[in-house]
């Protein structure tokens, strides 16, 4: 048996991340005692519509986050309890709504720093509605074996250590959250554990008082004694003493009161909870509370250290009187174990997981990214350049100095080709339409394909095939290409010709052949092909795509990496065009009518739909 | 609880129509002569100069000077500003008009769980304690405002008569408005004076506490609360407060000069019981400390170093209950770093450290702090099976 929270308690949590963390802890308890999930819904306007993943043991539950209380209660009519975690400035409104909601009987507020006036108003409102408003600043409510509200009870291991999976005979009432946990532990160690434990919070004006809960414990047959931990300030402990002394009570009361140290402290010095402040002439002092409780018949040790002994004594008296019958407890070994996470089990080496993807080029799990094993900063400090990073990430090899120089030149001569070509023009149109850089650049990127910039890979691929399959047989190669592929990729130019050669091609060929020692079978083959094709037609020259493709094959880059050089290089240009248009604050553009041939049907009436 | 100084209190009184004397708050005495040029009352009234700081017993310390003219007030300000009282320094003075008056009254309003209580006496002033039986009280339920008629009756019960009773009722009603709207916890005006010749009233001295948790809804609270511990905060206390205001959870620290047992304890409830245990065993505490709500390890580290620097300490009690969600491993790593750092700076010589704690990751946290034994610390580590405050008993017996 229990008070406040039981097997039928179902809760809504008002608040964000702290509330979600509490829900996770609550679900662990539900798992321990094999109870359906206590938490039903969250209310948190900033995250309305989201779902929160809550594990009850190995079972994953998706708990909905609502933007306001009303729909949450409509969707989940079984909710009878609210836990409030939302920030102090919104706490009053949230708690008020919960108190006024007919289905909610118990409201426990965890939020700290609620203004006193708000707390007083909420207390009054709860009294008017006949509701229990627990807190503010409460760690929560625990009913052993039945329900956990909040993070009270701590981690999973502690739930077992404090026997919270089954009811005992002791009730616990505290202001402090930490001491509620300590008291549950003391009851498990020196007695048979707890029925319910309630932390009312250490504020000046808590929403409830000890007497309210003592009345409930008195009516709960399973509770035989209550451990109350009070402190200096206010009058809740005196009221508890008065309650105890007013008539014969079934339950025994054990109490410890904090704050006797204030007797010897310099005047005016006080500390602890907000509510821990002594009144005039010793009213509310720890000593006067202890005396009042003792006179009323409570067991009151001089110090907290005496609490263990007092609990043990009361427990033995209750056994002797037959009020508590010692029963064989649940075998702890039969209690469920919290399922570990995959990471935990992997650390133990007890599970094998097949990876979803594999990478062979880079790794950033250490202090910094490593490219093919080399730390990025070390590459920088040893004088490597962007060409070497391309070599490592695209080809898993560090290029030689000569190779790096060639790669650098390939990127440089391909970086941009003015605004008129498909790629740059695409980016410019997007920039003028106010599109952000990544999307505008990808608009230009979209143009790269068989007719624009995308011939590098195929040029490299077929010239390499030619070297292998048709050495010294250019006509054979051309015939095969004509039959199987069509025009030779990398051959031909719209504007350039033998008479009007492409300077970039000439430069690259000269550089590679005359200033480096690179072995160039592909390039040589392509130049031989060019001799044959230009004899047929003046503009069937080896173009820049073809030249680059051949050189890259000769540099031993993988075939499918070749278009990447054009993509990479041209990205520089497209970014440049986007920046340029934005710098000029360019306006939206559209084609002039005279640039379009409107070869459409003349205007005509729309027929009736058949 | 946040006590505010006279200046800000006067400003709030003025806002709600409670009569106050003319006053200015200054930090630079030269500013007062310029203010004198602009304000007739400074040139023509008798003035009172008071240190505008949270220092008790200002009159006895010579930090209140009365019956001055402007020149004398400037001189008095010059003398007061920069005066050091213990760890506190006078930085501001308040200069107010001294009102010639015929009678002194007492007004106060104090919050309680159901609302507030208004107290009135027509025998205010320094002898109010002796005249406490003249005080008349009225309970004001939460969110209710008593009628002027009812307040006039109360004033009559307190011995006010005729027009004065009516004015007292009106001022009471404004006091209630001020209390309610400014999230006050208590306001005490002693004395509120009257000059009958022109029926002028003025609150000459005020002690006001506001609810600092309510500051989010008071855009015009441009003041800071003064120390809540009966003296100005020390530099170390200020530093920990600064950290406290920046973190999730909290760290708190109050020095108690002369003590031999330092507290490095967790949780608002348990920390007080540790202080009690020290006192109950005849020890003297060197400080109060508290960390709670799973604060960052660096904040706990700073608190630890502050505590290690306390002079004369012989024991440090690293105590706490079984935490609900404060991570023992993480907070202890802050404590361990703090101890190591302090030791390397020469602190902790002949200091015994006593540890008892439970909570999330307790096994790892306790194992880590136990390691300090091998680094030459005199440290004694216990887990949850040791009753919470028994480490204090052991420390005091050692």
Helices H / strands E in chain A, number of each: 22, 16
Among A592, A496, A477, residue whose Cα is nearest residue A543: A496
Nearest to A174 among B252, B269, B277 (CB): B269
Dist. CA A182–CA B359, nearest whole Å = 10
- Give the number of A-B residue pairs with CB atoms closer than 8 Å: 176
Beta strands at B352-358 and B315-322: parallel, antiparallel or unpaired: parallel
Q: Is the confidence at residue A264, as pLDDT, over 90?
A: no
pLDDT value, residue A267:
65
Please name the residue that has the structure tokens 């909040």. A150
Q: In B, which residues are within 8 Å of A202 by CB distance?
A: 268-269
ipTM of the prediction: 0.91
Give the tens place of pLDDT for each residue, A293-326. 999 999 999 889 899 999 999 999 999 999 988 7
Dist. CA A177–CA B323, nearest whole Å = 8
Q: In A, which residues are within 8 Å of B320 by CB distance?
A: 178
Among A360, A358, A382, A357, residue whose Cα is nearest residue A558: A360
Dist. CA B77–CA B26, nearest whole Å = 9
- Give the DSSP H or E segment for A65: strand A59-66
Nearest to B393 among A115, A180, A305 (CB): A305
Helix (H, G, I), strand (E, B) or coil at A414: helix
- Nearest C-alpha of chain A: how many angstroms from B260? 14
Q: How confident is the model at residue B398 (pLDDT cuts 50, 70, 90)?
A: confident
CA A502 to chain centre: 54
Nearest to A259 among B185, B266, B276 (CB): B276
Q: E strands of chain B, at which residues?
A: 2-4, 23-26, 47-51, 64-68, 84-85, 88-89, 93-97, 103-112, 115-121, 136-141, 184-195, 200-203, 206-210, 250-255, 261-263, 287-292, 315-322, 352-358, 378-382
CB pair distance less than 8 Å for B324 and A88? no
The Cα-based distances of B113 to A109, B55, B117, B295 in angstroms read 17, 30, 10, 31
CB pair distance less than 8 Å for B113 and A270? no
Distance between first and last Cα of chain B: 39
CA B194 to chain centre: 31
Among A445, A439, A455, residue whose Cα is nearest residue A424: A445
Q: Which of residues 63-82 of A touch B (CB under 8 A)?
A: none
pLDDT value, residue A453:
82
Q: Which of residues 454-513 of A touch B (CB under 8 A)?
A: none
Q: Considering only alpha carbons, which residue of chain B is nearest residue A305?
A: B389
The Cα-based distances of B259 to A64, B314, B342 in angstroms read 54, 9, 19
Q: How confident is the model at residue B392 (pLDDT cuts 50, 70, 90)?
A: very high
CA A294 to chain centre: 52
Q: Is A538 left (phi over 0), alpha (psi -120 to 50) or beta?
A: alpha
Dist. CA A330–CA A145, nearest whole Å = 11
Dist. CA A33–CA A11, nearest whole Å = 17
Q: Is the confidence at residue A353, as pLDDT, over 90?
A: no
Q: Which of residues 294-323 of A touch B (CB under 8 A)?
A: 302-305, 307-308
Relative orientation angle of helices A88-100 and A116-129, to the nearest 10 degrees:
10
One-character DSSP codes across A93-106: HHHHHHHHSTT--E
Give the tens place of pLDDT for each residue, B103-112. 999 999 999 9
Contact between residue B267 and residue B292 where contact means Cβ atoms under 8 Å apart: yes
User: How many other C-beta atoms are found inside a 10 Å radius of the C-beta of residue A197?
Assistant: 31
Catalytic member of A76, A273, A417, A493: A273
pLDDT value, residue A279:
62
User: What is the DSSP-derived secondary structure letter of residue A37?
Assistant: -
- Would you call A76 a catalytic residue per the annotation? no
Q: In B, which residues are within 8 Å of A205 by CB distance?
A: 113
Q: Is the confidence at residue A44, as pLDDT, over 60?
A: yes
Q: Is the confidence at residue A362, as pLDDT, over 70?
A: yes
pLDDT value, residue B294:
93
What would you report as the CA-atom Rg of chain B, rounded to the nearest whole angstrom? 26
Contact between residue A67 and residue A93 where contact means Cβ atoms under 8 Å apart: no
| Token pair belonging to B209 | 């506490």
Check CB contact of B270 with chain A, cutoff 8 Å: yes
Q: How confident is the model at residue A21 (pLDDT cuts 50, 70, 90)?
A: very high
Among A92, A96, A128, residue whose Cα is nearest residue A113: A92
Contact between residue A520 and residue A551 where contact means Cβ atoms under 8 Å apart: yes
Q: Which of residues 1-60 of A touch B (CB under 8 A)?
A: 21, 25
- Nearest C-alpha of chain B: how many angstroms from A47? 21
Q: What are phi and psi of B129, to 5 degrees?
A: -55, -40
Q: In A, which residues are within 8 Å of B275 by CB distance?
A: 261
* Higher-confidence position of B367 and B99: B367
Nearest to A179 among B279, B290, B321 (CB): B321
Q: Is the confidence at residue A280, as pLDDT, over 60?
A: no
Give the tens place of pLDDT for each residue, B213-260. 999 999 999 988 887 776 778 889 989 999 998 998 899 999 998 899
* 3-state helix/strand/coil string of B80-126: HCCCEECCEECCCEEEEECCCCCEEEEEEEEEECCEEEEEEECCCCC
The whole model's pTM is what?
A: 0.81
CB pair distance less than 8 Å for A305 and B267? no
Nearest to A116 among B111, B273, B280 (CB): B111
Give the tens place of pLDDT for each residue, B174-188. 999 999 999 999 999
User: How many other C-beta atoms are found inside a 10 Å radius of the C-beta of residue A397?
Assistant: 14
CA A605 to chain centre: 58
- Nearest C-alpha of chain A: how many angstroms from B348? 25
Q: In A, which residues are within 8 Å of B230 by CB distance?
A: 266-269
Contact between residue B335 and residue B296 where contact means Cβ atoms under 8 Å apart: no
Q: Which of residues 323-382 of B touch A (CB under 8 A)?
A: 323-326, 358-361
pLDDT value, residue A278:
62
CB pair distance less than 8 Å for B273 and A267? no
Dist. CA B187–CA B209, nearest whole Å = 6
Q: Which residues contact A342 (CB under 8 A, 6 or more apart)?
A: A351, A353
Among B339, B272, B266, B334, residue whose Cα is nearest residue B307: B339
Q: In B, which residues are within 8 Å of A178 by CB distance?
A: 266-270, 292, 320-324, 326
Q: Which residues contact A569 (CB under 8 A, 6 or more apart)?
A: A410, A411, A412, A413, A414, A415
- Buried-exposed string B197-233: b where 16+ CB fall within 10 A, e elsewhere: eeeebbbbbbebbbbbbbbeeeeebeeebbbbbebbb
Q: What are phi and psi of B353, to 5 degrees?
A: -115, 130
Give the tens place of pLDDT for each residue, B42-65. 999 999 999 998 877 788 888 999
Contact between residue A197 and residue A162 where contact means Cβ atoms under 8 Å apart: no
Contact between residue B362 and residue B385 where contact means Cβ atoms under 8 Å apart: no
Contact between residue A344 and residue A333 where contact means Cβ atoms under 8 Å apart: no
Q: In A, which residues are within 8 Å of B323 by CB distance?
A: 154, 178, 181
What is the pLDDT averaged over residues A383-399? 95
Task: Tell me if the bond preceding B241 is cis, omega within 30° of 0.
Answer: no
Q: Which of residues 155-214 of B touch A (CB under 8 A)?
A: 180, 183, 185, 211, 213-214
Q: In B, which residues are within 8 Å of A92 by CB distance?
A: none
Q: Which of residues 257-276 of A touch B (CB under 8 A)?
A: 258-261, 263-274, 276
One-character DSSP codes across A95-162: HHHHHHSTT--EEEE--S---HHHHHHHHHHHHHHT-EEE-SS--EEEETTTEEEESTT-SHHHHHHT
Check CB contact of A277 with chain B, cutoff 8 Å: yes
User: How many other C-beta atoms are found inside a 10 Å radius of the C-beta of residue A362?
Assistant: 14
Q: Which of B209, B234, B269 would best serve as a mutation to test chain A binding (most A beta carbons within 10 A)?
A: B269
User: How many other C-beta atoms are found inside a 10 Å radius of the C-beta of residue A164?
Assistant: 28
Q: Which of B113, B143, B185, B363 would best serve as a mutation to test chain A binding (most A beta carbons within 10 A)?
A: B113
Dist. CA A133–CA A520, nearest whole Å = 85
Give the tens place of pLDDT for each residue, A547-580. 999 999 999 999 999 999 999 999 999 999 999 9
Check CB contact of A128 with chain B, cutoff 8 Å: no
Q: How confident is the model at residue A153 (pLDDT cuts 50, 70, 90)?
A: very high
CB pair distance less than 8 Å for A123 and B56? no
What is the pLDDT averaged over residues B153-168? 94
Dist. CA B388–CA A181, nearest whole Å = 12
Check CB contact of B140 with chain A, cutoff 8 Å: no
- Output the CA torsion sign for B73, B76, B78, B84: negative
pLDDT value, residue B272:
94
Give the tens place of pLDDT for each residue, A83-129. 999 999 999 999 999 999 999 999 999 999 999 999 999 999 999 99
Contact between residue A76 and residue A69 where contact means Cβ atoms under 8 Å apart: no
Dist. CA A265–CA A390, nearest whole Å = 71
What would you report as the CA-atom Rg of chain A, rounded to the nearest whole angstrom? 40
């Amino acid at each position: 048996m229990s008070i406040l929270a039981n097997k039928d308690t179902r809760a809504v949590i008002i608040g964000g991340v702290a509330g979600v963390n509490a829900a996770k802890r609550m679900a662990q308890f539900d798992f321990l005692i094999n109870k359906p999930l206590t938490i039903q819904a969250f209310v948190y306007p900033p995250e309305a519509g989201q779902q929160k993943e809550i594990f009850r043991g190995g079972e994953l539950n998706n708990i909905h986050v609502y933007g306001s209380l009303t729909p949450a209660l409509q969707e989940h009519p079984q909710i009878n309890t609210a836990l409030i975690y939302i920030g102090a400035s919104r706490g009053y409104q949230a708690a008020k709504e919960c108190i006024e909601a007919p289905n909610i009987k118990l409201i426990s507020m965890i939020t700290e720093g609620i203004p006193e006036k708000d707390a007083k108003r909420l207390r009054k409102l709860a009294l008017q509605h006949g509701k229990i408003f627990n807190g503010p600043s409460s760690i929560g409510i625990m009913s052993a074996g039945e329900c956990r509200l909040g993070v009270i009870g701590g981690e999973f291991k502690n739930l077992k250590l404090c026997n919270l999976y089954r009811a005992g005979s002791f009730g616990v009432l505290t202001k402090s959250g930490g001491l509620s946990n300590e008291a549950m532990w003391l009851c498990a160690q020196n007695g048979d554990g707890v029925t319910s434990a309630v932390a009312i919070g250490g504020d000046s004006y808590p929403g409830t008082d000890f007497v309210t809960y003592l009345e409930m414990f008195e009516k709960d047959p399973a509770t035989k004694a209550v451990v109350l931990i009070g402190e200096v300030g206010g009058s809740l402990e005196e009221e508890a003493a008065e309650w105890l002394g007013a008539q014969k009570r079934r339950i025994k009361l054990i109490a410890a009161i904090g704050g006797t140290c204030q007797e010897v402290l310099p005047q005016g010095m006080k500390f602890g909870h907000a509510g821990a402040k002594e009144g005039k002439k010793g009213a509310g002092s720890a000593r006067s509370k202890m005396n009042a409780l003792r006179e009323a018949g409570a067991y009151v040790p001089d110090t907290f250290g005496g609490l263990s002994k007092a609990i043990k004594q009361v427990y033995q008296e209750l056994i002797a009187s037959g009020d508590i019958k010692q029963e064989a407890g649940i075998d702890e070994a039969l209690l469920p174990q919290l399922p570990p996470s995959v990471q935990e089990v992997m650390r133990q080496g007890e599970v094998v997981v097949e990876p979803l993807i594999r990478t062979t080029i880079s790794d950033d799990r250490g202090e910094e990214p490593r490219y093919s094993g080399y730390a990025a900063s070390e590459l920088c400090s040893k004088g490597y350049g962007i060409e070497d990073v391309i070599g490592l990430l695209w080809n898993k090899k560090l290029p030689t100095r000569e190779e790096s120089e060639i790669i650098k030149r390939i990127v440089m001569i391909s970086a941009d080709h003015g605004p008129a070509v498909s790629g740059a023009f695409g980016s410019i149109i997007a920039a003028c339409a106010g599109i952000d850089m990544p999307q505008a650049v990808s608009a230009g990127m979209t143009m790269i394909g068989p007719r624009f910039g995308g011939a590098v890979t195929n040029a490299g691929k077929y010239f390499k095939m030619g070297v292998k399959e048709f050495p010294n047989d250019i006509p054979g190669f051309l015939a095969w290409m004509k039959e199987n592929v069509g025009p030779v990729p990398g051959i031909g130019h719209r504007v350039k010709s033998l008479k009007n050669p492409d300077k970039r091609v000439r430069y690259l060929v000269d550089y590679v052949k005359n200033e480096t020692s690179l072995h160039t079978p592909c390039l040589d083959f392509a130049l031989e092909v060019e001799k044959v094709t230009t004899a047929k037609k003046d503009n069937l020259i080896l173009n820049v795509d073809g030249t680059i493709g051949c050189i890259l094959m000769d540099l031993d880059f993988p075939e499918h990496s070749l278009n990447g050089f054009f993509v990479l290089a041209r990205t520089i240009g497209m970014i440049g065009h986007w920046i340029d248009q934005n710098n000029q604050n360019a306006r939206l553009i559209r084609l002039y009518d005279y640039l379009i041939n409107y070869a459409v049907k003349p205007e005509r009436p729309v027929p009736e739909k058949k | 609880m946040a006590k505010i100084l006279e200046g800000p209190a006067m400003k709030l009184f003025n806002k709600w129509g409670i009569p106050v004397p003319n006053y200015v708050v200054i930090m630079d005495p030269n500013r007062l002569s310029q203010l004198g040029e602009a304000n007739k009352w400074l040139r023509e009234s008798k003035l009172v100069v008071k240190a505008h700081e949270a220092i008790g017993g200002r009159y006895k310390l010579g930090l209140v000077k009365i019956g001055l003219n402007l020149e004398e007030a400037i001189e008095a300000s010059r003398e007061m500003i920069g005066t050091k009282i213990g760890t506190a320094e006078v930085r501001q003075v308040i200069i107010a008009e001294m009102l010639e008056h015929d009678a002194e009254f007492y007004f106060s309003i104090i919050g309680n769980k159901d609302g507030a209580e208004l107290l009135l006496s027509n025998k205010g002033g320094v002898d109010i304690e002796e005249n406490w039986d003249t005080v008349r009280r009225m309970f004001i339920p939460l969110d209710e405002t008593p009628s002027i008629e009812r307040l006039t009756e109360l004033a009559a019960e307190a011995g006010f008569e005729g027009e004065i009773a009516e004015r007292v009722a009106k001022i009471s009603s404004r006091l209630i408005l001020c209390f309610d709207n400014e999230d006050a916890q208590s306001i005490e005006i002693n004395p509120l004076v009257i000059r009958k010749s022109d029926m002028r009233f003025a609150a000459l001295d005020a002690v006001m506490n506001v609810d600092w948790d309510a500051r989010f809804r008071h855009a015009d609270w441009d003041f800071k609360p003064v120390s809540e511990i009966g003296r100005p905060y020390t530099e170390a206390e200020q530093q920990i407060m600064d950290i406290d205001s920046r973190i999730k959870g909290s760290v708190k620290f109050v020095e108690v000069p002369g003590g031999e047992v330092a507290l490095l304890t967790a949780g608002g409830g348990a920390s007080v019981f540790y202080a009690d245990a020290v006192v109950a065993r005849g020890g003297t505490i060197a400080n109060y400390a508290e960390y709670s709500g799973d604060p960052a390890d660096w904040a706990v580290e700073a608190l630890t170093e502050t505590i290690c620097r306390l002079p004369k300490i012989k024991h440090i009690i690293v105590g706490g209950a079984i935490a609900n969600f404060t991570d023992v491993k993480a907070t202890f790593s802050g404590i361990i770093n703090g101890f190591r750092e302090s030791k390397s700076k020469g602190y902790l010589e002949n200091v015994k450290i006593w540890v008892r704690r439970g909570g999330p990751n307790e096994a790892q946290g306790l194992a880590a702090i136990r390691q300090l034994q091998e680094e030459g610390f005199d440290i004694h580590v216990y887990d949850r099976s040791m009753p919470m405050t028994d480490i204090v008993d052991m420390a005091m017996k050692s």
